[in-house]
Amino acid sequence: MDISDLIAPEGVMVPLKVTSKKQALQAMARRAAEMTGLNERVVFDVLLERERLGTTGVGNGIAIPHGRLASVSSMHGVFARLARPINFDAIDDQPVDLIFLLLAPESAGADHLKALARVSRLLRDRGMCEKLRGAETPEALYGLLISGRASQAA
């Protein structure tokens, strides 16, 4: 599974200007809704529900909020680089500035887990994260995200 299977160019947001975890999730849910035709509130609610189970702030300035929806037919991603890092209740208590949101069909099962693992592997690469933090345009960020696919195929 390649990152290009999960995210389209219009799924990249930079710089996302928010001051809280809630604002970040709302803005990204809005973009996901625009891309998928889903109801923005439904997307936001599934993300909040997942956050209540435990933070998706995985450390090193990265968060991977995710959820499953019966009304989505394939996986969709939204990536944001924040203008300023925010508190995301991350496991290392560090602020977050790179967020990859992933939505999957309720029936995705193992594919959802594979997609999460793929995103996690990409964002665990410190060199990649430095490049993502330095990119200025959505096009540059998208190019970086999908360039990691060949060397880190799932």
The pLDDT of residue 21 is: 97
- Measured CA to CA, the distance from residue 89 to residue 143 in angstroms comes to 29
The pLDDT of residue 149 is: 46
The pLDDT of residue 74 is: 93
Domain ranges of the chain: 3-147
Class of domain 3-147: alpha beta
Q: Which of 27, 13, 117, 106 is nearest to 67 (CA)?
A: 106
The angle formed by the CA atoms of residues 42, 122 and 16, to the nearest 5 degrees, is 50
The pLDDT of residue 151 is: 41
- Report the amino acid identity of residue 133: R
Report, as residue numbers or ranges, the catalytic residues: 66
Q: pLDDT tens digits for the chain (154 residues)?
A: 789 999 999 999 999 999 999 999 999 999 999 999 999 999 999 999 999 999 999 999 999 999 999 999 999 999 999 999 999 999 999 999 999 999 999 998 899 999 999 999 999 999 999 999 999 999 999 999 999 643 433 3
- Give Cα 7 distance to the centre of its chain: 9
The pLDDT of residue 109 is: 83
